[in-house]
Every structure is written in structure tokens, then in C-alpha cells.
Amino acid sequence: MLTTRFTQALGIDHPIVQGGMMWVGRAELAAAVSEAGGLGIITALTQPTPQDLVREIERARTLTDKPFGVNLTILPSINPPPYDEYRRAIVDAGVTIVETAGSNPEPHMEMFHEHGVRVIHKCTSVRHALKAEKVGVTAVSIDGFECAGHPGEDDVPGLVLIPAAADQLTIPFIASGGFGDGRGLAAALALGADGINMGSRFMCTQESPISQVVKDRIVEASELDTNLIFRSLRNTARVAKNAVSDEVVQILAEGGEFEDVRPLVAGARGRKVFEDGDLDAGIWTVGLVQGLIHDVPPAGDVVRRIVAEAEDVLRSRMALVDAAPLPA
């Protein structure tokens, strides 16, 4: 059992979170992670309306009695979804843990606090983590450059970002990006984090509601098989390397603008990859850690074996302390 400030603050058994994932974070996956003692998270915007989100939350409750959370990703956009209505739905449904991401959670904090909701804010820099601490979040989840999705523009990998965060934050925080096994969890704890957040690893589990073809692709792929798109637009996203993301990288590298790639990056095309298993239908998100993913187990097994492996790693490393020198 690995008890940390994070497990205590959130009332969970293991310091492992399944981060919000568009099209992936549905009730079955979130419930399986929570049922195993981690923290599963339903992704609000995967549900077409706030009412659908409430139904998804109710469905998760039929699958587990353990705490689970809801991710609210607040991205600036021309036609934003009704964030306030999703937030109201979360609160009215009695959810007590929310993962915010995408921008400053401050405008949402008053209502969350009023209803006793604990907020885990996910961000990609120490300065944003400190800002989130200041506006009263319970914990921070800090994504290194390795992560799937949006790593920000600072390009600081976890090996430096995690201890830098540990040096400055006072609230509990978890490390995110590039974690997929117990060695990673042990390393995150050693670097000062109170747990880990994972996306890609949980995307490649039995309860993950995406095509088996995509899961098989993740198992086959190496850490070299991702692309960073939108670099020149300062809205970087790490996605799977495929014909479409290669084309996007090329167009933007040759001076193209967002309008030139808009049809290629449409969300509906990415959704088709997950639903139909057509790997080149569009852009789809995955992280460097796919190079460490070799199977498609039940999500609960992922939680249990990562904890067991991390405990073994920590114990075996402890044996190095004051160990007698090896015979020459």
C-alpha cells in the first residue's frame, strides 16, 4: 500500500489517476480504475450535452461505489461548449472530485468550493501550478513534455519538471506524462510527487471504449512514433504519428496557417479512428509512453500491478542504502 498526501486528500487507496481523455473517458473505464482503488475520471466534453454527462455519471455509479471524478477541459475557442452548464451538471450530480485542464480554473472555483468539490488542476508548468494553488485547488497534476495531448510550449520533461514542482508547491501534486509502469510510479515518488496521472496506459486497456485496432497499434508502436503538431501556432499537441499528422507537420513547417490544416485535424475525423479503427482517418492522441506499453489488460490490473511493481522497486532500491560493497 502506497499512502501519500494525494491518496489522503482524495480518499483513494492508490496514488494513480486516469486522466480525462476525449472519446475515451467513459463510465466503464473510470469505474474500473476507481473500483481498483485508483481515481477514474469521466471526460465531461465526450458527452454531447450536460444532461448526457449526468446520465454517464449515474451509469458509473452503477459500476462502482468508490470515488471517481469528472474532467472539465476548458479550452479557449471561438464556439466554446457551455462550460458553465457542464459545471452545474457536475455539481448537481453530486460529483466531489473534478479534474480541470486547459486554462486557469479560477472562474469555476467559487461554485466548486461552495459544493465541497475537490479540484485537481492539470497544467504543464510550475508557474501555472503555483497559480492553481493560489486559487484554492486541492491538488495539481503536472504534465511533462512526454505527455499525450497538450504539453505546453516550455518543453520541460518530467525529470526536471517534477522536482521543480516539488521545490515550490505546498499542496499535493501528481506527475503526469510518460508513466506506464511501477518503475515510473517509484521514480515519480522519488522525485517528490505524491502519485501519477496516466492517459495512454489506460487508453490501452480492456475497458477503454476504442477500437482494438488502435490498442494493437499502441502495443506495436515505439516511443518514436508520435508527432508534435501545431508547434508554430504555439498550441502544441502530441499525437500518434500517421499519414495525417505527418502532413500537418509538413504543411505548418512550410509556413502554413491553421486554416490550411483545419480539415485534416477535425475532431470528427479523430473520433473515426477510435470508433472504426481506421488509423489514418485523422489525428489521434497518444504519448511517448506507448513505447513501454506491451499489452491490453483490464484497467484494474494496470492499477494493481503498477502499485505492486513500484513497491518492489522502492524496496529493492532501499537495499542499496548502506549495502556492503560487492566483492572485487
Ligand X SMILES: Cc1cc2nc3c(=O)[nH]c(=O)nc-3n(C[C@H](O)[C@H](O)[C@H](O)COP(=O)(O)O)c2cc1C
Nearer to ligand X, 152 or 177 (CB): 177
Contacts of 90 (CB under 8 A, 6+ apart): 44, 53, 57, 70, 72, 98, 117
Contact in structure between 313 and 186 (CB atoms under 8 Å) = yes
Dist CA 214 CA 237 (whole Å): 18
Closest separation in Å from C-beta 39 to ligand X: 12
Nearer to ligand X, 24 or 306 (CB): 24
Nearer to ligand X, 178 or 182 (CB): 178
83 DSSP assignment: H
Contact in structure between 232 and 216 (CB atoms under 8 Å) = no
Residue 170: HSE in the Cβ half-sphere, 13 Å Cα cutoff: 4
Nearer to ligand X, 177 or 195 (CB): 177
Nearer to ligand X, 26 or 66 (CB): 26
Closest separation in Å from C-beta 241 to ligand X: 14
Nearer to ligand X, 120 or 169 (CB): 120
Closest separation in Å from C-beta 110 to ligand X: 21
Nearer to ligand X, 19 or 195 (CB): 19
Nearer to ligand X, 202 or 249 (CB): 202
Dist CA 110 CA 161 (whole Å): 29
Closest separation in Å from C-beta 147 to ligand X: 3
Closest separation in Å from C-beta 203 to ligand X: 5
Nearest Cα neighbor of 133 from 85, 171, 178, 76 is 171
**Helix%, strand%, coil% for the chain, nearest 5:** 45, 15, 45
Q: Which residue has the cell 526536471?
A: 160
Contact in structure between 80 and 54 (CB atoms under 8 Å) = no
Closest separation in Å from C-beta 146 to ligand X: 6
Contact residues for ligand X (CB under 6 A)? 19-22, 24, 43, 71, 73, 101, 122, 143, 146-149, 176-179, 197-201, 203, 285-287, 289
Closest separation in Å from C-beta 71 to ligand X: 5
Residue number, nearest CB to ligand X: 199
- 238, β-bridge pairs: 149, 228
Query: What does the angle CA 39 – CA 45 – CA 48 come to, to the nearest 5 degrees?
Result: 130
Nearest Cα neighbor of 184 from 214, 209, 157 is 157
Dist CA 156 CA 160 (whole Å): 7
Closest separation in Å from C-beta 290 to ligand X: 8
Q: Rg of the chain over CA atoms, in angstroms?
A: 19
